[in-house]
Amino acid sequence: MPIAQEPIDEPVGRTRAKPLDADTRRAEIIAATRHLLAANGTNFTTKAVAEAAGIAEGTIFRVFSSKRELIAAVIQDLLDPTQYVAQIEALPDADLQEHTVALLSVLRGGLQRANGIFSAMAAVSSADRPGDPNSCPDPGSDESVKHAFKRHQHDKMTALKDAVTASLEPYAAELCVSPALAAATVWMTAMASAHPFVSEYNDLDTEELAQLLIHGFANDNQYHSGPPTPSP
pLDDT digits 0-9 by tens, 49-107: 999 999 999 999 999 999 989 988 888 787 777 888 999 999 999 999 999 999 999 99
Distance from C-alpha of 171 to C-alpha of 92, rounded to nearest angstrom: 14
Per-residue confidence (pLDDT) for residue 148, from 0 to 100: 58
Contacts of 108 by beta carbon, 8 Å cutoff, 6+ apart: 190, 193, 194, 206
CB pairs under 8 A, 24+ apart, for 103-109? 103/164, 103/167, 103/168, 103/186, 103/190, 104/186, 104/189, 104/190, 104/206, 104/209, 104/210, 105/206, 107/160, 107/164, 107/186, 107/187, 107/190, 107/191, 107/194, 108/190, 108/193, 108/194, 108/206
pLDDT tens-digit readout, 28-65:
999 999 888 878 888 889 999 999 999 999 999 999 99
Domain extents for the chain? 22-128+136-215
- Please state which of the four CATH numbers 3.40.640.10, 3.30.365.10, 3.40.50.880, 1.10.357.10 is assigned to the domain occupying 22-128+136-215: 1.10.357.10
CB atoms within 10 A of CB 197: 8
Average pLDDT over residues 195-203: 68
pTM of the predicted structure, to 2 decimals: 0.64
